[in-house]
Chain A
Amino acid sequence: MGGGGTIEWAKLCAMRNWFVIFTVLCIAGCGSTWNDPYPASDRDKSILYLAFTERPRHLDPARSYSEDEASINAQIYEPPLQYHYLKRPYTLVPLTAAAVPRPKYYDEQNRLLPQDADAKSIAYSLYEIRLKPGIHYQPHPAFARDENGKLLYQNLTRKDLESIDDLADFRKTGTRELLASDYVYEIKRLADPRIQSPIAGLMSEYILGFREFSQRLQKDPAADLSKCEMSGVEARDRYTYTIKVRGKYPQFVYWLAMSFFAPLPPEVDHFYSQPGMAGKNLVLDWHPVGTGPYMLTENNPNSRMVLMRNPNFHSETYPSSGMPGDEAVLKDAGKTLPFIDQVVFSREKESIPYWNKFLQGYYDVSGITSDNFDQAIMMSVQGEAQVSKDMARQGIELKTSVAPSIRYMAFNMLDPVVGGNSRRARLLRQAVSIALDFEENISIFANGRGIPAQGPLPPGIFGYHSGRDGINPVVYDWADGEAKRKSIMEAKKLLADAGYPDGRDSETGKPLVLYLDSTGRGADDKTRFDWYRKEFARINIQLEVRATDYNRFQEKIRKGSAQIFTWGWNADYPDPENFLFLLYGPQGKVEYGGENSANYDNPEYDRLFEKMKNMENSPERQAVIDRMVAILREDSPWMWGFYPKDYQLNHVWLSNLKPNQMARNNVKYLRIDAKLRDRMRREWNRPVLWPLAFAIMGLGLIVVPALRYYRRREEGRAK
């Protein structure tokens, strides 16, 4: 018995020795940083490391419409126009086009009209887009040709596809020049019901022949798009195409800066449409093909997506002018783009690992969540946000910008209590608008990242006024050089004038109960709801929160059965029309299924909107907008809420970063100092070894007495 125990003791000692040796070998073999999530060979390369939270659903330019998708697609696809990277207000400049097109106007008899022609006389606007020659697509098997010039991979059989699992399995790639017909082809794809483009409905109202083309494809889904004609779109020659837009629609030019209007070569569409490709997930929706500075070389939306520099990218240079104060981002003026060779997007579903990896230097850019806000940001004496001392010590920089978007609370104008054009309902809405203190809301729920809204138009959009001229006189007074929310007494007075003194209906004596419809049912939402209740209670209104799931909430909005609800809008393009249409009567959600979720309907406002939308930016247009905003403030269909402010942190080794809320193709302008990044990462991520030593010692302290006890027991006498 004793002999057996000695052998086991020796075995255990040997195991312990092996464990120590293994640990030491691990430590010796791991280099200076153990926690680097990227391959060691990439350390000094010009690679931009970014994170994404939501996996992109669509990378087909005709379908993609979300921010996450745009951050990838915009680096690959090139529409004819883009936004100037540095200039504000946002300005369109050519990308693949030779110039920003100016529309020509024609009447019903196809006669050319002058530029200042009355909008009613314009039958259609003609946009002629001329492309820069010599632009080529990224290398791709769809363009590969054999010795005879015949496309290699356009008639693949199932047998051919047996050995193909990825695009990299195609041995040959090719390229070809960008043609005007590729843009035409993409516009036809927008109309294809099989593609289900989110802007098909909108474009069918504007592009001539779009709706008919769509109807034809509905009847004949197998039709070859390149052989079907759409009357309003035409490739005039190799580099020129035209688009006919119904009536006058000056905002159409902004759509030409979105990836919906990027080129798509028919042979690429055909390549991906071959039988068997979809079963291998080789579809255009996941493998974009473009002329942009980068091409997608790895697509695993569950883990990471990698963009590599497109070797065929055309010549484009860094902007040589910007705004005053842009000196720091103009050091590369005139230099050839892009500066970065590779972009790695890693998926981070949780904010904690994302934030910590940013602090360790493994992401170059990060946003700030509410949880990290106090760690990252402190307010200066002047009330300006700046990075905390710890962040500043790491060289982290803060960039802030006001997003071209608005978060608001809407009254359903069809509701019998808060809606309608009666004086009673209007005064009630005004009283509630005063009582709901959005300054406090921004401070509590957004860490101060927002500007209280004075109307529907955010800063940076034509029509917006700052300072005294811009305040909403229904809710604010101008005092001591700033906008001051009216007192709660004034709100109560308005409420009494509306027939609800002390929050009771003067006719029935019953307390006034209003209903907030919301999708939020989490712990954070409860805090928010409590705050809303408290604010309404300041004017003695009882607020009932009707929390529901997303589908039922949407249904209530569609059917007009909600009373008060929170909503938001991110601009498609930087034009006031893209905000003011949200309150245009014919956009009413219930009656027309449009984007006017408040179902606001004011004939004067609608008339002014129809006039304003066709005007060029001018003092006249400003006057019309001012009148429209004044009507809205008086009617108060929305509590204007706030314009969100984006806070973005970046490390010191990333340069040329200037927030651009409209453009998403900004990676090409960025520059990385990879050597500095590597040095700082090493400095910040030295392994801390003492816990390992303690753990080994602790293990020894447990194991050795236990083994001694075991030996004693084994060798002791039986009791």
Chain B
Amino acid sequence: MIAYLIRRLLYAVPILVGVNLLTFALFFVVNTPDDMARIQLGIKRVTPDAIHNWKVAHGYDKPLFFNPGESGSNFFTDTIFFEKSVPMFRFEFGRSDDGRDIAQEIESRAGPSLEIALPVFLIGMMTNVSFALMMAFFRATLVDVWGVVMCVAAMSISGLFYIIGGQFLVAKLWHWVPISGFEAGASSLKFVILPVVIGVASGLGSGARWYRTIFLEEIGRDYVRTAKAKGISEIRVLFHHVLRNGLIPILTGAVVVIPSLFMGSLIMESFFGIPGLGSYTLDAINSQDFAIVRSMVFIGSVLYIIGLMLTDISYTLADPRIRLQ
């Protein structure tokens, strides 16, 4: 397995270089360094001198990929691409174009994002599995039919509706929790309850329906009939046998997102005033802050690769027949 993981890590390097190259190309197709300078310096009274000074100060006064004015290795290294990319592979993200340390910003924002994303993931997973198992238990009854109808209805509703509707009912009409806001530590509970409930509820329809399909497929298998014939209770059959055997497809979708959880949720964090990472990248794109954009894309790629590796590892844990070679 170690050899497999090392091989996967080595594969990751060209992937990251490629992602970085694409990010650079796409970003600079839309924005020039002059545009970036203008956005940062403001709309009023921006002079060419100020733009030049900004570009020099932020290292955007060089060619993008190749430097025709240089020879040898400097042809490649004395460029924006090289100078901005290499530190990222050392996980040095530098400073955003408005002067904030990116690593510290990510660190301070990741906590609040996790406070929402982790409970939504864990509780959502448990709720979805439980609800799906319940529908599987009550299969071919009215409970199952109405459960599926509810799932389809829940899937059809926009996530934004859950947020606005939830805020309207729970926070505005019933006054149970604050509409938005955040505090660190134990005080955060009253702020995170509603977004977590909404996050779980909004994912219930699609999650439960998908898991129900998996479980129903398992329930029809011979080993389930055998277990029942041995007199094992239905609950035990569902949780000990069906759930375990249905784990592979569940893990495929679930484990890969675990490392990315701290990246947060854009809409949820915006509406609930959670100071997380959800909007960090989008805000950066809007303000043409390339330092943040490239760092976040890089981190996202790394996390996705880690997620895929974790998924592979989890297969071996869930199914002893699988070996990583």
A residues adjacent to B (C-beta < 8 A):
1, 4-5, 8, 33-37, 39, 55, 57-58, 65-66, 193-194, 196, 198-202, 278-281, 283, 285-286, 300, 302-303, 346-350, 352-353, 356-357, 360, 362, 549, 551, 554-555, 572, 593, 595, 685-688, 691-692, 706, 709-710, 713-714, 718
- Which residue from A34, A58, A709, A714 sits with its C-beta under 8 Å from B176? A34
Please name the 8 residue pairs, one residue from A and one from B, whose CB atoms are nearest each other, closest first.
A201-B47, A302-B275, A303-B275, A37-B181, A37-B178, A353-B180, A551-B35, A688-B174
Cβ contacts under 8 Å, B187 to chain A: 39
**Interface assignment of B95: CB less than 8 Å from any CB of chain A:** yes
Contact check, A688 vs B175: say whether CB atoms are below 8 A apart.
yes
Cβ contacts under 8 Å, B134 to chain A: 706
- Which residue from B31, B173, B273 sits with its C-beta under 8 Å from A303? B273
Contact check, A349 vs B275: say whether CB atoms are below 8 A apart.
no
Given contacts A1-B233, A196-B53, whether A286 and B100 have CB atoms under 8 Å apart is: yes
**Interface assignment of B2: CB less than 8 Å from any CB of chain A:** no
Contact check, A279 vs B174: say whether CB atoms are below 8 A apart.
no
- Which residue from B40, B137, B179, B270 sits with its C-beta under 8 Å from A357? B179
Cβ contacts under 8 Å, A706 to chain B: 134, 138, 143
Which chain A residue has the least Cβ–Cβ distance from B56?
A193
Contact check, A303 vs B182: say whether CB atoms are below 8 A apart.
yes
When chains A and B are docked, how far (Å) is the Cα of A688 from the Cα of B173?
A: 8
**Interface assignment of B99: CB less than 8 Å from any CB of chain A:** yes
When chains A and B are docked, how far (Å) is the Cα of A416 from the Cα of B99?
A: 44
Contact check, B176 vs A687: say whether CB atoms are below 8 A apart.
yes
Contact check, B50 vs A685: say whether CB atoms are below 8 A apart.
no
Given A193-B53, A196-B53, A593-B47, 20 more contacts at CB 8 Å? A35-B175, A37-B191, A55-B283, A57-B98, A65-B42, A200-B47, A200-B50, A201-B45, A279-B104, A281-B104, A303-B275, A346-B181, A346-B273, A349-B273, A353-B167, A551-B31, A555-B35, A595-B45, A688-B173, A688-B176
Cβ proximity bits B265-278 to A, threshold 8 Å, 1 near / 0 not: 00000111101100
B residues adjacent to A (C-beta < 8 A):
30-32, 35, 38, 40-42, 44-50, 53-54, 57, 95, 98-101, 104-105, 108-109, 112, 134, 137-138, 143, 164, 167, 169, 171-183, 187, 190-191, 228, 231, 233-236, 270-273, 275-276, 279, 283, 287-288
When chains A and B are docked, how far (Å) is the Cα of A200 from the Cα of B42?
A: 13
Contact check, B279 vs A349: say whether CB atoms are below 8 A apart.
yes
Cβ contacts under 8 Å, A285 to chain B: 98-99
When chains A and B are docked, how far (Å) is the Cα of A300 from the Cα of B274?
A: 12
- Which residue from A34, A55, A194, A353 sits with its C-beta under 8 Å from B175? A34
When chains A and B are docked, how far (Å) is the Cα of A194 from the Cα of B56?
A: 9
- The 5 listed contacts between A and B (C-beta, < 8 Å) are A35-B179, A36-B178, A688-B176, A710-B235, A714-B233
Contact check, A350 vs B38: say whether CB atoms are below 8 A apart.
no
Contact check, B109 vs A551: say whether CB atoms are below 8 A apart.
no
Given contacts A35-B178, A302-B109, A352-B167, whether A4 and B30 have CB atoms under 8 Å apart is: no
Given contacts A280-B101, A551-B30, whether A348 and B273 have CB atoms under 8 Å apart is: yes
Cβ contacts under 8 Å, A300 to chain B: 108, 275
When chains A and B are docked, how far (Å) is the Cα of A57 from the Cα of B288?
A: 13
Q: Report the minimal beta-carbon distance from A360 to chain B, rounded to whole angstroms.
A: 7
Q: Report the minimal beta-carbon distance from B107 to chain A, rounded to whole angstroms.
A: 11
- Which residue from B45, B137, B275 sits with its C-beta under 8 Å from A347? B275
Contact check, A35 vs B30: say whether CB atoms are below 8 A apart.
no
Cβ contacts under 8 Å, A346 to chain B: 181, 273
Contact check, B45 vs A198: say whether CB atoms are below 8 A apart.
yes
Q: Report the minimal beta-carbon distance from B294 to chain A, rounded to whole angstroms.
A: 18
Which chain B residue has the least Cβ–Cβ distance from A55?
B283
When chains A and B are docked, how far (Å) is the Cα of A34 from the Cα of B138?
A: 38
Cβ contacts under 8 Å, A280 to chain B: 101, 104
Contact check, A360 vs B179: say whether CB atoms are below 8 A apart.
yes
- Which residue from B45, B98, B167, B190 sits with its C-beta under 8 Å from A58? B98
- Which residue from B137, B138, B180 sits with its C-beta under 8 Å from A37? B180
Contact check, B57 vs A196: say whether CB atoms are below 8 A apart.
yes
Contact check, A202 vs B45: say whether CB atoms are below 8 A apart.
yes
Given contacts A35-B175, A593-B47, whether A353 and B233 have CB atoms under 8 Å apart is: no
Contact check, B177 vs A35: say whether CB atoms are below 8 A apart.
yes
Contact check, A595 vs B44: say whether CB atoms are below 8 A apart.
yes
Contact check, B42 vs A685: say whether CB atoms are below 8 A apart.
no
Cβ contacts under 8 Å, B276 to chain A: 302
When chains A and B are docked, how far (Å) is the Cα of A332 from the Cα of B46?
A: 42
Cβ contacts under 8 Å, B48 to chain A: 593
- B31, B38, B174: most-surrounded residue (chain A CB, <10 A): B174
- A280, A302, A348: most-surrounded residue (chain B CB, <10 A): A302
